[in-house]
Amino acid sequence: LERVREAMAMCRQCRPELVERLRQHLLARLMLLGFHADQAHAGLGRAKEDAYWLRLLARGIEEMRGGAETRLRAVECWEYFREQAIRERWFAANSLEDGLLSMRMAGIVSRLPWDMIEDLREEEPEKSGRPGRDGTLPPSALLDAGNLFARACRADPHPEVFAEWLAWAKRNRHDPDEVAELWRRARAEDVAPLLWLAESAEARGAFHKSLKFLEQAEQLDGLNPEVRKVRRRLLVASVLRHFRQHK
């Protein structure tokens, strides 16, 4: 703490315009090293709690070694940063930057074990339920990576973003058909959501619906090897079904 005070005094003499930025960096580092907030503030004063400060904290917490609670704290801090950054006009809601940030947050939450998410959800009270006008999510909603993927896709409806959301929905207790349907509506030129919807309908025994999705995929890209593979599989399934029905 004494060396920190010396650094601040030297900064005031040599580069007074950098004092506030240096204070923010030093306070963030002290807190991450385990210093109590009162100790840090006594030595340096309080930091200006702007978007720059919140980004420092979010990145620092994200780099800390810890369990699910630490990673969840990082996500919450990123959400505070997003809200403040939009207020300070670093970027706009539903912009490309907003989409990239939401994907970063979704990546953190999606790596948490499902049972751990359930435990945290029970501990986290439902706070002010609905998202804000700029898409800001309450803490309880941040526990569901699907909310973050959805926000990312609204900001940047890129096929890779939808693909990651669909892959996550398949692994977890979420409806991948709903994600694929949203993907299909947002990007009518993509084959991937149609293939998933065709395979999902096939698994449920809805062959007519499956063929309908497949025909749409063939209209978009009839030479796609995945499309042709599904066509062969549906043809065999149709033949076997007719055999079972003695047709």
Is 221 or 86 the better-scoring residue by pLDDT? 86
pLDDT in tens, 115-166: 777 777 776 655 545 667 778 998 888 889 999 999 999 999 999 999 999 9
* Contact yes or no for 165/153 (Cβ under 8 A): yes
Phi, psi angles (nearest 5°) of residue 111: -85, -5
pLDDT in tens, 4-24: 889 999 999 999 999 999 999
State the pLDDT at residue 124: 62
Backbone φ/ψ region at 93: left (φ over 0), alpha (ψ -120 to 50), beta: beta
Q: Is it the case that residue 238 has pLDDT exceeding 80? A: no
In the block, which residue shows the tokens 């706009």?
A: 92
Which one-letter DSSP state was computed for residue 160?
H
pTM for the structure as a whole: 0.83
CA distance 92 to 212: 39
Of 75-84, 150-159, 234-243, the range with the lowest mean pLDDT is: 234-243
For residue 137, CA distances in Å to 4, 128, 133 come to 36, 9, 10
State the pLDDT at residue 102: 96
Q: What is the mean pLDDT of the chain?
A: 88
Q: Is it the case that residue 173 has pLDDT exceeding 80? A: no
